Chains A and B, each alone.
Chain A
């Protein structure tokens, strides 16, 4: 038997009867430190929830770790420029037991300028996914925001490619682990076409994903919570629970439209949208 505390405990079983309760070495502070260290040193690790089961499903705890690491990023000179959404397909949400997208922070250190190679030496095991990207025109604060209201606060819509990376070996993690890890943030780049939100049917907007010249995937914007505006509204309402809002000028990555495709060194990826143009990502 074990009692869960804020620092976490794990039950170790050795043999038939011997049950030993050990204090987890992890707490919010040390998990945050270790995650940033993994990122800076380009190394992966096992998920913390293996040793600290409480983190597996405690999303409030996980977001506290994420927020604490945002503060550390800002303290070391990075600028907060927006948010990224994750787990935006209803099927995936049902699988991990949540009913709205995951949210994580974007800083200027995560921007990959158009035409620059994927910085393989700074990433552990990058994967790429196509995204629909919003640039906010107005402040947007929940709760109670609807998709229509959320879209009215969007200034422009672009195509994008997110290069996700995970500090967890083989991308194996539970929901709390991945939220703490800023939802596998890596780099992102935006496309050449920018349109006002009332000039595009985002549910019908299609994307083709081409890896090393082969078309490997395709989808439409409807794969994002039936409409990316729906995902934005849900995310803003979730942020409001922590007293947070979206600011004018912020970028919102609305989540992978297809599955994420591995992009090891030497991979070239082309992402082609119906109206939002083509974006290429590559590395030698």
Chain B
């Protein structure tokens, strides 16, 4: 794919994000787009956001379950950037107009205590770099119309990132088996899904190792203080105005996201 076309795709995604007007799948507009193009387009878009004043505060890993990878026809996860303005607080209404077609995914978030630089990160290196874990809900969203995404669409579109709500309490890794931490998700009091940490690449820690090593090959370091979302422990759920969603993690605590209602929408 020609550099000028990559730049054009990045501009389209930047505008879609700014105006909340989704665009058709990139594969329909750019016929020979591949995964390398997609990551380049993501980076070009990130540069525009940085120029716009946004600050990177972490990364997210997507497509971290075997089922989702099969659905996308890939055999590895993907990643995107997490910005400071995408951190929402628990119980504070999240404006839906900041998103296009948001969904929620429960994740076990890592907060790093020191830099983690690939590409030679081992599992013990990753464990050593984690300050603590937090229950979290990731807002995923797509700048592609009706979520009609393939692998290149989601990668170019910052891995369909939208934001994050972090819960509590912080817990250190010692003594935790993240694989067997269960999660039960409630929407407005009703159970809408259950899962366990092992659904994320066998363990969320594997996801952290993969991310550090994958970014390391591009000379990018995961920085101390950053938040890493390793991937969802279950299928994403749709969100409607006024929804209140809680994810309870066995032994880890909980996180609640509240979405703004329709008040004033008609005005």
Option from B66, B67, B198, B251 in Cβ contact (under 8 Å) with A204: B251
Q: Which residues of B contact A217 (CB under 8 A)?
A: 199
Minimum CB distance partner of A218 in chain B: B196
Q: Is the CB of B66 within 8 A of A215?
A: yes
For residue B82, give the distance in angstroms from its CB to the closest CB of chain A.
Answer: 24
Q: Is the CB of A219 within 8 A of B191?
A: no
Q: Is the CB of B66 within 8 A of A273?
A: no
Asked whether A222 and B66 contact (CB < 8 A) given A208-B199, A274-B182, the answer is no
The CA-CA distance from A136 to B197 in the complex, in Å, is 31
Q: Is the CB of A218 within 8 A of B248?
A: no
Q: Is the CB of A205 within 8 A of B195?
A: no
Find residues 62-91 in chain B having any chain A CB closer than 8 Å to their own CB: 65-67
Option from A90, A218, A220, A257 in Cβ contact (under 8 Å) with B198: A218
Find residues 183-221 in chain A having any chain B CB closer than 8 Å to their own CB: 201, 203-208, 214-221
User: Is A34 in contact with chain B by the CB < 8 A criterion?
Assistant: no
User: Is A223 in contact with chain B by the CB < 8 A criterion?
Assistant: yes
For residue B222, give the distance in angstroms from its CB to the closest CB of chain A.
Answer: 24
How does the 8 Å CB contact mask read for A213-241 relative to B, with 1 for contact and 0 for none?
A: 01111111111001000000000000000
Q: Which residues of B contact A219 (CB under 8 A)?
A: 182, 194-196
Q: How large is the interface on A (under 10, 10 to 19, 20 to 34, 35 or more residues)?
A: 20 to 34
Find residues 243-262 in chain B having any chain A CB closer than 8 Å to their own CB: 248, 250-251
Asked whether A205 and B250 contact (CB < 8 A) given A215-B202, A220-B194, A272-B180, the answer is yes
For residue A109, give the distance in angstroms from its CB to the closest CB of chain B.
Answer: 32
For residue B176, give the distance in angstroms from its CB to the closest CB of chain A.
Answer: 11
Number of B residues contacting the other chain (C-beta, 8 Å)? 23
Q: Name the residue in B182, B198, B199, B233 with the highest tally of chain A Cβ atoms < 10 Å from its Cβ.
A: B182
Q: Which residues of A contact B121 (CB under 8 A)?
A: none
Q: Is the CB of B199 within 8 A of A218?
A: yes
The CA-CA distance from A257 to B194 in the complex, in Å, is 9
The CA-CA distance from A220 to B182 in the complex, in Å, is 6
The CA-CA distance from A203 to B248 in the complex, in Å, is 10
Q: Is the CB of A206 within 8 A of B66?
A: no
Q: Is the CB of B180 within 8 A of A216?
A: no
For residue A6, give the distance in angstroms from its CB to the closest CB of chain B.
Answer: 40
The CA-CA distance from A112 to B66 in the complex, in Å, is 29
For residue A96, give the distance in angstroms from its CB to the closest CB of chain B.
Answer: 18
Q: Is the CB of B233 within 8 A of A274?
A: no
Asked whether A215 and B198 contact (CB < 8 A) given A204-B248, A274-B250, the answer is yes
Option from A203, A206, A214 in Cβ contact (under 8 Å) with B196: A206
Q: Is the CB of A220 within 8 A of B202?
A: no
Q: Which residues of B contact A206 (CB under 8 A)?
A: 180-183, 194-197, 250
Option from A205, A215, A226 in Cβ contact (under 8 Å) with B182: A205
Minimum CB distance partner of A207 in chain B: B196
Q: Is the CB of B67 within 8 A of A223?
A: no
Q: Name the residue in B194, B195, B197, B251 with the highest tally of chain A Cβ atoms < 10 Å from its Cβ.
A: B194
Q: Is the CB of B194 within 8 A of A222?
A: yes
| Given A216-B66, A274-B181, A274-B250, 18 additional A-B pairs, CB 8 A | A201-B250, A204-B248, A204-B251, A205-B182, A206-B182, A206-B195, A206-B197, A206-B250, A208-B180, A208-B199, A214-B66, A217-B199, A218-B195, A218-B198, A219-B194, A220-B183, A274-B177, A274-B196
A residues apposed to B, CB below 8 Å = 90, 201, 203-208, 214-223, 226, 257, 272-274
25 contacts between A and B (CB under 8 A): A201-B250, A204-B184, A204-B248, A206-B194, A207-B182, A207-B196, A208-B196, A208-B199, A214-B66, A215-B199, A216-B66, A218-B194, A218-B195, A218-B199, A218-B233, A219-B195, A220-B182, A220-B184, A220-B250, A221-B182, A222-B191, A226-B191, A257-B194, A272-B180, A274-B196
Q: Which 8 A-B pairs have the closest CB atoms?
A: A206-B182, A204-B250, A218-B196, A220-B182, A206-B196, A208-B198, A220-B194, A222-B184
